Amino acid sequence: MADSAKHILNQVEFVGSFDKIEDCPSDEVPCYAFVGRSNVGKSSLINLLTDRKKLARISKQPGKTQMINFFHVDNAWYLVDLPGYGYAKESKKLRAKWDKMVRSYLAEAPNLMTSFVLVDSNVPPQEYDLSFINWLGENDLSFGLIYTKVDRHRKEQIRKNKIEAIQQSILESWSELPPQFAVSAVSGEGREQLLAYIAQLNTLVKVH
């Protein structure tokens, strides 16, 4: 895509971190939430989308994002960075708390346009990802799928095979695949497609 077509987000503001849905911003503004295993690249993707390197905190250590973080974009919509699931080193109790926080946000958030489930394109499909995706489906929650860290594939064929394996395992429970995006926070791949998709959804609710 030509540079002139690059999406520019003029104003991005960190609103706050919340651990209860009733405390989250409730203005009638479309929200887009990013969810997925710990360390899959949710916060990195938010920084890529907003073109701001240090907006969302990133860490090599899983479990960095522990609250629901809201970022207001151009005073018109929110990006929502959710804590990751499936971080084995945390206590069961803490994990259950995060799980509840994420699921209740996704199920109850009044202005959630869609969520994006991030899966690492380098890793075979994980049981927890699949059960989480199935839970979204059972609850009629719309979502897109984002394959992360595609810069790590040294060969195009390997990337294709890995993504196909993930798709196949989803198709064991689903008759079709949701909207899909391949992204890299390193190369920037996928940024424009994802922002175009969000812009298109925003027009449905007349966001400028």
Ligand X SMILES: Nc1nc2c(ncn2[C@@H]2O[C@H](COP(=O)(O)OP(=O)(O)OP(=O)(O)O)[C@@H](O)[C@H]2O)c(=O)[nH]1
- Residue numbers of the site for ligand X (CB under 6 A)? 38-44, 58-60, 62-65, 83-84, 148-149, 151-152, 184-186
Residues 104-133 within binding reach of Mg ion (CB under 5 A): none
149 binds, among Mg ion, ligand X, none (CB under 5 to 8 A by kind): ligand X
Q: How far apart are CA 121 and CA 35, in angstroms?
A: 15
50 binds Mg ion (CB under 5 A): no
The residue ranges of DSSP E strands in the chain, in sequence order, are: 12-18, 31-36, 68-73, 77-81, 112-120, 143-148, 180-182
Q: Which of 194, 83, 201 is nearest to 148 (CA)?
A: 194
43 binds Mg ion (CB under 5 A): yes
Query: In this complex, which beta carbon is closest to ligand X, that of residue 65 or of residue 202?
Result: 65
What is the smallest separation between the CB atom of 205 and ligand X, expressed in angstroms?
27
What is the smallest separation between the CB atom of 207 and ligand X, expressed in angstroms?
25
Query: In this complex, which beta carbon is closest to Mg ion, that of residue 64 or of residue 95?
Result: 64
103 binds, among Mg ion, ligand X, none (CB under 5 to 8 A by kind): none
86 binds, among ligand X, Mg ion, none (CB under 5 to 8 A by kind): none
Got the DSSP string for 19-75? SSGGGS--SS--EEEEEEBTTSSHHHHHHHHHT-TTSS---SSS----SEEEEEETT
Residues near Mg ion (CB under 5 A): 42-43, 64-65
